[in-house]
Amino acid sequence: MSDYHPMWKSLGLDLAAHDAMLQSVGQAYQETFLSQPNRPEGMKYFDFVISEVHGLRIKELLDAKAQGRKVIGSYCTFVPEELILALDGVSVGLCTGGDFALDLVDQVLPRNTCSLIKSAFGFKLGKVCPYIESCDLVVGENTCDGKKKAYEIMRRFIPNLHVIDLPQVKSEAGKGLLLAEYKRFAAKLEELTGRKLELGKLKAAIVTVNAKRAALKRLAALRQADPAPISGLDALLVSQVSFYDDPVRFTGAVSALCDELEKRVAAGQGVFAPKRPRLVISGCPMAFPNWKLPAILESSGAVIVGEESCVGERSTRWLTPENGNSVDEAIAQLVDRYLQIECAVFTPNPTRIEYAEQITRERKADGVVHYSLQFCQPYQMEAGPVVEQLEKDSIPALRIDTDYSREDEGQIRTRVEAFLERLHA
């Protein structure tokens, strides 16, 4: 294995802290993923990506930069990857799934901030993220109040920050705002890259991103089978990798995985025995390396067969038309596509519940686990009505509010076990 320390040093990482982080994530990966039974062969690609997530992939980014391409980092599925690709940029999702440098984070953010926002700051302040240090531009978005205000503070540490304003209501006025903001973002990218947004390149980028999402949709649909051909943990990992990897290479790897899973389904093979309690997760995104709740659910005897989440099907279920006749029309089609995302920051947000119910029925799931991060107002507020509606529609639902610490793992496990008993009763 190559020694990447000189590369990390050149990016200004705190090498000791970074080594410690890699070791702890590597150990968690070993315990959570590599110990699973009956994993598909196709997961080897994703294991490799994770093993090189701070190595080879960062080298690829730096090589791309040396060739004049720009690296754009983002935190939300509302940031249109298509515009970045169309201007020959490299799009990367930035890590927000683990607690790092909390002592430094607590000096700049209130304690009652969600773990995801704290994590974004922890990776930056702790100097442990080679992605953020490779970025030519970091893109934020005005979604929840926490993020909105946090980006004001983040600008102190990341001057190359562009914030996209987002509507809160899916109205015509809201659509107009998003259109204006996507055009402003495109102009920012043009300025950064020195290139002009062209229709041909934009359509090609839309085709590339659609292909990636279509491959992920195919993977999601294969999870309808009983026994499930892939664990929820592995499916989540694939979603997490989708934010880092080269999109064309990633699509090829997911397609190969799906070919294998189709054969498994035809042969009646699964990762676990059939008739295991089947669950859908609905709620906050689970960004890399947040595996806490799925690990508890699957080690307690369940199998996760769907995620109504931005690291999951909320960000992949909609494709964009590929037939725009002008740059303006293609951007308007992107706006229509993105505005369908059922993020809890929108008011009202009824289609989120509808979709959670839809995938629960399609996947023949026995229940839904609603997952909110503590101090996440949008998802914690929606948790009550979502759980209530699911129960009313005869879908058992469990509400879990947690964070990235390990302190409540025992308590969550006890509640999950009681829920699984209820499903069996």
Question: Interface with ligand BJ8 by CB under 6 A: which residues?
Answer: 76-78, 114, 116-117, 143-144, 146-147, 284-285, 310, 341, 343, 345, 373, 376, 378-379
Q: Which is nearer to ligand BJ8, 49 or 117 (CB)?
A: 117
Here the contacts of 4-10 (C-beta below 8 Å, separation 24 or greater) are: 4/54, 4/55, 4/58, 4/59, 7/58, 7/59, 7/62, 7/130, 8/54, 8/58, 8/130
Q: Which is nearer to ligand BJ8, 25 or 114 (CB)?
A: 114
Do residues 349 and 342 lie in contact, with contact meaning Cβ atoms separated by under 8 Å? yes
Q: How far is the CB of 178 from ligand BJ8 (least distance, A)?
A: 12
Q: Which is nearer to ligand BJ8, 91 or 193 (CB)?
A: 91
Backbone φ and ψ for 141, nearest 5 degrees, come out as -150, 145
d(CA 337, CA 238): 22
Q: Which is nearer to ligand BJ8, 130 or 285 (CB)?
A: 285
Q: Which is nearer to ligand BJ8, 142 or 231 (CB)?
A: 142
Sign of the CA dihedral running 41, 42, 43, 49: positive
Token pair 């980092």 is at which residue? 73
**CB atoms near residue 338 (< 10 Å):** 19
Residue length of the chain: 425
**Could you give the 3-state DSSP secondary structure of residue 92?**
strand
Q: How far is the CB of 195 from ligand BJ8 (least distance, A)?
A: 27
Q: How far is the CB of 69 from ligand BJ8 (least distance, A)?
A: 25
Taking the CA atoms of residue 231, residue 232, residue 237 and residue 243 in that order, the dihedral angle to the nearest 10 degrees is: 140
Reading the block at residue 341, the tokens are 């995302």
Q: How far is the CB of 158 from ligand BJ8 (least distance, A)?
A: 16
Q: How far is the CB of 294 from ligand BJ8 (least distance, A)?
A: 16
Smallest Cα–Cα separation from 162: which of 89, 65, 106? Answer: 89
Q: Which is nearer to ligand BJ8, 55 or 167 (CB)?
A: 167
Q: Which is nearer to ligand BJ8, 146 or 247 (CB)?
A: 146
Q: How far is the CB of 105 from ligand BJ8 (least distance, A)?
A: 13
Q: How far is the CB of 376 from ligand BJ8 (least distance, A)?
A: 3
